[in-house]
């Protein structure tokens, strides 16, 4: 869980806030029990500048994440360099599905790079 625009004053506080939300309020999972906390490894992606792009030919799923949005206000985000996403068509199909946007809908595209940090 994360945000496209930070709500905290620095990346450390924003990371902490998002980590707590992910552990306790992610609707996809049950809350993390305290006794399982030591079993968790942490992976943080810090999103870099987002730039509007004119079309999918400017995407590269290994380098860029993508934000798609439609005229009804639906929006989907997909990080860069995700396992199993090796081409732009797959990247866009997945992010549209996440957002509930049909394959035929006109969308605005933004791309971004991300700094990834992994716990050892």
CATH number, residue 94: 3.30.1490.150
Domain span holding position 27: 1-40
Q: What is the pTM of this model?
A: 0.88
Looking at the fold, whether 50 and 36 belong to one and the same domain comes out as no
Residues 77 and 22 in one domain: no
Residue 1: predicted pLDDT: 81
**Eight-state DSSP code of residue 82:** -
Among 67, 74, 65, which Cα is nearest to 102's? Answer: 74
- What is the per-residue pLDDT for 93? 97
Phi, psi for residue 41 in degrees, rounded to 5: -110, 150
Q: How far apart are CA 30 and CA 24, in angstroms?
A: 8
Ranges of the chain whose pLDDT falls below 70: none
Quote the pLDDT of residue 2: 87
Q: Quote the number of domains for the chain.
A: 2
pLDDT of residue 109: 98
Q: Yes or no: say if 52 and 87 are a contact pair by the CB < 8 Å rule.
A: no
Q: Say whether both 64 and 89 belong to one domain.
A: yes
What does the pLDDT read at residue 119? 87
Residue 68's pLDDT is 98
């Amino acid at each position: 869980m994360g945000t496209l625009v930070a709500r905290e004053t620095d990346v450390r506080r924003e990371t902490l806030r998002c980590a707590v939300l992910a552990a306790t309020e992610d609707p996809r999972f049950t809350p993390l029990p305290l006794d399982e906390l030591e079993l968790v490894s942490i992976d943080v992606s810090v999103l870099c500048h987002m730039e509007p792009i004119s079309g999918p030919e400017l995407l590269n799923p290994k380098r860029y994440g993508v934000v798609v949005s439609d005229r009804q206000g639906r929006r989907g985000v997909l990080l860069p360099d995700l396992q199993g996403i090796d081409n732009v068509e797959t990247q866009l199909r997945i992010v549209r599905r996440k957002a509930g946007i049909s394959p035929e809908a006109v969308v605005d595209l933004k791309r971004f790079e991300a700094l990834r940090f992994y716990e050892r």
